[in-house]
Amino acid sequence: MPRSQSNFPVRAITLDLDDTLWPFAPIATRIERVLDDWFRTHSPRTAELFPIPEMRALRERVVAANPQLVHDIGTLRRMTLAHALRESGADPTLADAAYEAFYAARNQVECYPDSLDALARIAARVPVAALSNGNADLERIGLSHHFRFYLRAHEHGAAKPEAGIFLAACERLGVAPDQVLHVGDDADLDVVGAARAGLRTCWINRADQKARCADPAVRGHSEWPHDDPRPDLEFDTLTALADWLDAAVLPFSRAARA
């Protein structure tokens, strides 16, 4: 699967998190189960009215009704929980505790087998910034030390694939976009979005690892789905990217010192 153009300078990396460092599907399943258990303990009437399928449908309705908040999934989650409590006649002050139960479950991640060692290698080679539409907490997860900073869509005010979030990350890194490599699993949000913002791109195509998931949206594409733009790099693991950086970055570093 590895595919790349000729070596090019990479002075920094922006890195997606969900489905790039860790699979999100198990997290989503855990969130639903944890929230259902929490409501059964603390607000049984809410659990009765909104079992897992109905709570999922409610969240989808809240998202659809608030397109202006597509970049702020934490607020959308809070709105969903508040709505469920209100509709079931429960104490609305329970919303904060329900959200904390959700957020604790959201940050229980199990990284892909290649991720941790490869991330350490990559971060030792070039500055890395986390760039995500999600709301993972790298401090809670224990990975923040690998990153110069973490830019989330709700903090920026717009989500990938909009160019602004990529360019804001480049500005904070102090590196021109064409020398920043954005790395992610999503063909459109990550690769197409970053390419149109002027960054170099790396598609982490984990199709084989996602193939076990029943949801086609999670499984994604096994082959690159667009004629243009195409990713500058394509790998199926972060280890392969770390290997490429070992080979590519050092020659450019020596050239810069010459």
156: domain CATH number is 3.40.50.1000
Which of 106, 131, 158 represents a domain boundary (last residue)? 106
169 & 231 share domain: yes
159 & 185 share domain: yes
pLDDT recorded at residue 6: 58
42: domain CATH number is 1.20.120.1600
119 & 241 share domain: yes
Indicate whether 152 pLDDT > 70: yes
Q: Give the residue from 109, 94, 93 showing the smallest Cα distance to 31.
A: 109
43 & 19 share domain: no
Indicate whether 168 pLDDT > 90: yes
Task: Name the one residue in this structure whose structure tokens are 């189960």.
Answer: 33
46 & 165 share domain: no
116 & 222 share domain: yes
- Alpha-carbon span 174 to 149, nearest angstrom: 12
Which of 56, 77, 106 represents a domain boundary (last residue)? 106
Q: What is the mean pLDDT of residues 141-148?
A: 98
Which of 49, 83, 106 represents a domain boundary (last residue)? 106
Instruction: Summarize pLDDT for 174-188 with one digit per residue, the tens.
Output: 999 999 999 999 999
100 & 143 share domain: no
96 & 128 share domain: no
Residue 39: domain span: 26-106
Indicate whether 205 pLDDT > 80: yes
Alpha-carbon dihedral angle through residues 21, 146, 14, 242, given to the nearest 10 degrees: -70
- Alpha-carbon span 79 to 73, nearest angstrom: 10
pLDDT recorded at residue 216: 52
Percentage of the chain with pLDDT > 90?
Answer: 83
Instruction: Summarize pLDDT for 26-61 with one digit per residue, the tens.
Output: 999 999 999 999 999 999 999 999 999 999 999 999
118 & 244 share domain: yes
147 & 251 share domain: yes
Q: What is the mean pLDDT of residues 114-130?
A: 97
pLDDT band at 213 (very low <50, low <70, confident <90, very high): very low
Domain count for the chain, please give it. 2
pLDDT recorded at residue 256: 43
Q: What is the mean pLDDT of residues 138-148?
A: 97
CB contact at 8 A, 17 and 107: no
